[in-house]
Amino acid sequence: MQPSATVVAPRLNRTIDYRVSLGITFIALLFGAYGVIRVLVFKEHGALTSYVPWGLWVGVYVFLVWLEVGMILTYFLLRRFLQIEGLRLLAPVVMLAAISALIGALFVIGMDLGHPFRFWKAYLQPNFGSLMSWMIWLHTLYLFILVAELFAYFKGKDYVDRWKIYLNFLTYISIPIGVLLIAVIGGLFGVVAARPFWNASVLPLMFFIASLVAGLGLLILLHLIFSPTRGTPQYERTAVRMARVFLGAIIIGMIASLANGLVIAYPNVPAYAEGLKLVLFGPYWWTIWIVHLAIGVLVPLILLGLWRTRLWAIWAASICYLVGFTMVPVNIIIPGLAYPMPTMEGIKEAFHHPKLTFDYAPMFMEWQVVVFAVGLSLLIFTVGYRYIVEPYLREHH
């Protein structure tokens, strides 16, 4: 492979980046603060209704969980099984990004729950017959493992080398916990018998595939931006090998989604097919056809198919995929709720109230809460990179 461009030495001192990132974080938190206040103080929940109790916040939560778990899983698979070189020193960046996404996910789902300050009940009064209890406990265990690993990097290279066997143990433990967490979240939707659009045994598997592909897209971006191998031939070789895996993963994910859609559409059972029709031809058809399929799938396939040895194409493909993928959880959750069952079609006309409607579109304050959650994640990553990752990478330089 011939180098496509002159590589640039890594910047181990990112003072300017740190200040810019803090500025963006401050703006995001300030912008979203009023939305959070409206939830915590005035108990508002946006445009959610009795018929559509899950909306944008649940979709963002699922998306962030896919990123956090998928990033760890794909990092483990690429480094340990596919033996892709040049990823070893990226470990603290991956751990920090996963923790940041996890905190953002927990925050936004806490806003959705209605009584976030009662979270302690899930620990002191758990109901392990509920998948939500399992979800909370797995999230907590996963967070503790990631924090413990990141703490080792905070202590420095000598500490990491001394406790390497234990850190490897934590890494191996985090893999099944991450897989189980994705399966539980997929099962949380899949076991809802009253919602046929979700009620399928294949949904946990679909969530797992989605998590891997999205996590790989983010992992590639982390490598391109933060890899300490930048400035060496290994930097580009690693990016190209990851891009090849990414291309295959996108194709597999597309085939799996198509197969799932055909299984729903072919029998044309109204209770199942109505949700699919809302996704494809409903009021937000453009989110699936333009944002997800065109920008998030078709553009990356073209870029990686024609120019996968070019860094600019890998950059663009990863960004486009992640942008397009933001629509996937929303297009799973909302259409599953936004229509009455065939046996209850008359309920739409039986009662009239602003909160008794199947029409849902996120309000401005819902977007404010999402922006605040993103700002919180960015703050954790920014400060963590400055005071944990940078010192660790300098020790290896």
pLDDT at 381 over 80: yes
pLDDT at 6 over 60: no
How far apart are the C-alpha atoms of 395 and 397, rounded to whole Å?
6
Give the model confidence (pLDDT) of 361-377 as tens digits: 899 999 999 999 999 99
235 to 218, 231, 239, 303, 350: CA distances (angstroms): 16, 7, 6, 19, 63
How far apart are the C-alpha atoms of 103 and 110, rounded to whole Å?
10
Give the pair of three-digit tokens for residue 105: 């996910």
Residue 222 belongs to a domain with what CATH number? Answer: 1.20.1630.10
Give the model confidence (pLDDT) of 223-243 as tens digits: 999 998 888 889 999 999 999
What is residue 51's predicted lDDT score, i.e. its pLDDT?
Answer: 80
* Least confident residue range of 66-75, 107-116, 295-304: 107-116
Of the two residues 312 and 262, the one the predictor is more confident about is 312
What is residue 7's predicted lDDT score, i.e. its pLDDT?
Answer: 47
Owner of token pair 């922006």: 371
* Assigned domain for 362 exists: yes
How far apart are the C-alpha atoms of 217 and 320, rounded to whole Å?
9
Owner of token pair 């433990």: 173
What is residue 265's predicted lDDT score, i.e. its pLDDT?
Answer: 78
Share of the chain above pLDDT 90, in %: 47
Instruction: Count other Cβ atoms within 10 Å, centred on residue 3.
Output: 12
* Least confident residue range of 97-111, 128-142, 256-270: 256-270
Q: Categorize the per-residue pLDDT at 62 as very low, low, confident or very high, splitting at 50, 70 and 90.
A: very high
Mean pLDDT, rounded, of the chain: 87
pLDDT at 4 over 70: no
Give the model confidence (pLDDT) of 154-191 as tens digits: 988 888 888 888 888 888 898 999 999 998 888 888 87
pLDDT at 3 over 50: no
CA-wise closest residue to 236 among 109, 85, 33: 85
Secondary structure (3-state) at 361 = coil
* Assigned domain for 231 exists: yes
* Assigned domain for 8 exists: no
**How many Cα neighbours within 13 Å face the side chain of 237?**
10
Residue 360: which domain range? 15-396
Q: Categorize the per-residue pLDDT at 123 as very low, low, confident or very high, splitting at 50, 70 and 90.
A: confident
Contacts of 2 (CB under 8 A, 6+ apart): none
Residues composing the chain: 397
pLDDT at 5 over 50: no
How many structural domains compose the chain? 1
CA-wise closest residue to 50 among 367, 303, 348: 348
Task: Enter the pTM of the model.
Answer: 0.90
Q: Tell me if 177 sits within 8 A of 145, measured CB to CB.
A: yes
* Assigned domain for 2 exists: no
For the residues of 255-293, what is the DSSP string, one character each?
Answer: HHHHHHHHHHHTT--HHHHHHHHHHHHSTTHHIIIIIII
* Assigned domain for 4 exists: no
